[in-house]
Chains A and B, each alone.
Chain A
Amino acid sequence: MKKLINDPDAVVSEALEGMEAAHGDVLRIIHDPKVIVRADAPVSGKVGLVSGGGSGHEPMHGGFVGKGMLSAACPGEVFTSPTPDQMFEAAKAVDGGAGVLFIVKNYTGDVLNFEMAADMASAEGIQVESVVTNDDVAVQDSLYTAGRRGVGITVIAEKICGAAAEEGKSLAEVAEICRTVNAQGRSMGMALTPCTTPASGSPSFELGENEMEIGIGIHGEPGRYREPLAPASSIVERLATAIVEDLPYQEGDRVLAMVNGMGGTPLIELYIVYRELDKFLRERGITIERRLVGDYITSLEMAGCSITLLKLDDELTRLWDAPVDTPALRWG
């Protein structure tokens, strides 16, 4: 294992200290239990937005804390869900009297810990709603799995809900917008290489020189299918077909498209992916109206990409365009 770290056990806490030093204008850090909080929280009368998950997916979630996006993020150990006391602490830190929305990615650990935290917060008199994202079309949603994983749409939901909360919408309204974004969003990812967590020291799976994994999650877990490596055009066709057919996205639809790097993918390759995706959608009469290209929800140093589409309407587009001021997303 070759990593730019000091101590495998101190990776999360030292990275948080770095964030605090770098972005003190936007956020502050509670160190025990670990929470990244918007600098001006709680904002009176505004719905608090809390998300969280294992570390190793940076910039998600901590990089999205700030005005117009998350009120707080709870970082777990690398690829390990945070604990209920972190989420409870976050809820207390951001509740401005209008309640708190938990945005939870559908992974068993995240769901269970956020459920316990919601119980704790309710007992303390904090109004909490939870929305679970589950946009990954690689996983069958059935009684026989833990259900579809929450992946790329979570980033987009955090931005759009952040804008809605900033406008003063109620907890019920912000939660409803979150559910709409999740319902109209779909994702799928692939990997060229595995990744190595600092604690384990060895790769999460073995992949031959000429192999790729299709349908990966974001925790270094293997994908649904292992296949011979193929050109970018056919990989994109594979991912985009699964996504487009699932919702389905149809001729005339306007979408937000995110081409996301898994952490170890050069941007030049992501633009090739975007080129192929743009062509693929154009041929089907689907218009990319907004886009993100870059590393937003990663899996340490894994090479590979994921594609996320969100079907837009005027309201979602307006909320997407609203100003945002976080370490990783900033405009307006």
Chain B
Amino acid sequence: MSDLTITAGDIRAWIADYAGAIAEHRTELVQLDTAIGDGDHGTNMDRGMRAAVEKLEATEGDDIGALLKAVGMALVSKVGGAAGPLYGTLFMQMGAKAAGRSELDLAGWKEALAAGVQGVQARGRAEPGDKTMVDALLPAVQALDGEPGGAEALKRSAEAAREGMLATTPMEARKGRASYLGPRSIGHQDPGATSSHLLLQTAAARLAA
């Protein structure tokens, strides 16, 4: 498979795509969150991603680290809820790993994504199987390993996120507001895992192109 090169322009386009996907799925995310949380996930992420896109437009240069950090800061200050600190941390940690780089190859992307997901786990103290965004994110990082590399790896990563998202349905929530429902959380797909799948899906569609 051909080598993968992710430019700063690709990252900008990916964030815009993700904002679009969140807006498109806003109602679905609200419905998923209403079932087992408090029904604000779609609204909050939509507000946050619109702010992130605005902030990116105001951020010059081709330092991928600075771009991702700007996205993270916008999310932290606009989203609220648990998703604000968690997605904010994801992007800020990715940004810290990619600081000073104007291009990423597959290894660089994996390093950044892995750091971001590790940040999410540290902030939210969630383990795989807790019915959270980690259940979509962690398999997506792991799926970047192996052959073939390049663009195919990004597609595998998005597919792993999708499977991870679907796997949250039969789980009983052990973190976040859904955990208050106990067994009543079973049978519902996790809204955080759903928005995380969209993140990896838009990444594969844009960055593997």
Q: Which residues of A contact B (CB under 8 A)?
A: 33, 54, 76-85, 107-109, 112-113, 115-116, 138-140, 143-146, 149, 197, 199-200, 202, 204-205, 217, 219-222, 224
Q: Which residues of B contact A108 (CB under 8 A)?
A: 82, 124, 175-177
Q: Check: B134 CB closer than 8 A to any chain A CB.
A: no
B81 and A145 contact, CB distance less than 8 A: no
The residue on A at minimum CB distance from B37 is: A221
Check B7 for interface membership: any CB of A closer than 8 A. Answer: no
In the docked arrangement, what's the CA distance between A149 and B40, Å?
Answer: 18
Within 8 Å by CB of A76, from B80, B85, B88, lies B80
Q: A80-B44, A116-B76, A145-B174 are in contact. Are A204 and B84 (CB under 8 A)?
A: no
CA–CA, A76 and B179, complex, Å: 22
Nearest chain B residue, comparing its CB with the CB of A217: B180
Q: With A and B bound together, what is the CA distance between A175 and B137 in angstroms?
A: 37
Q: A94 to B85, alpha carbons, bound, how many Å? A: 24
Q: Using an 8 Å CB-CB cutoff, how does the interface string of B25-40 with A read, 1 for contact, 0 for none?
A: 0000010001001111
Contact yes or no, B79 A83, CB < 8 A: yes
Residues of B within 8 A of A205 (CB): 34
Contact residue among A33, A107, A113, A149 (Cβ-Cβ distance under 8 Å from B84): A113
Contacts between the two chains (Cβ within 8 Å), count: 108
Give Cα A82 to B43, complex, Å: 14
| Consensus secondary structure, chain B interface | helix
A-B contact pairs, 30 of them (CB 8 A): A77-B40, A77-B47, A80-B38, A80-B44, A80-B80, A81-B84, A83-B76, A84-B76, A84-B85, A107-B177, A112-B82, A112-B84, A112-B86, A112-B123, A113-B80, A115-B123, A140-B182, A146-B179, A149-B180, A200-B39, A200-B40, A200-B43, A202-B34, A219-B38, A220-B38, A221-B37, A221-B38, A221-B177, A221-B180, A224-B180
Q: Say whether A85 contacts B39, CB under 8 Å.
A: no
Q: Is B78 an interface residue (CB 8 A)?
A: yes
Q: Which residues of B contact A (CB under 8 A)?
A: 30, 34, 37-40, 43-44, 47, 76-86, 88, 123-124, 172, 174-177, 179-182, 184
- Verify B174–A197 contact, CB threshold 8 A: no
User: Are B34 and A145 neighbours in the complex by a CB distance under 8 Å?
Assistant: no
Is there an interface contact between A82 and B85, defined as CB atoms closer than 8 Å?
Answer: no
Q: Which residue of A lies closest to B176 (CB)?
A: A108
B177 and A199: CB pair below 8 A?
Answer: no
Provide the bound-state CA to CA distance between A85 and B79, in Å. 11
The 6 tightest CB contacts between A and B, nearest first, are: A112-B85, A109-B81, A145-B179, A109-B82, A219-B38, A80-B80
For A136, the closest partner residue in chain B by CB is B180
Contacts of B181 in A (CB 8 A): 221-222, 224
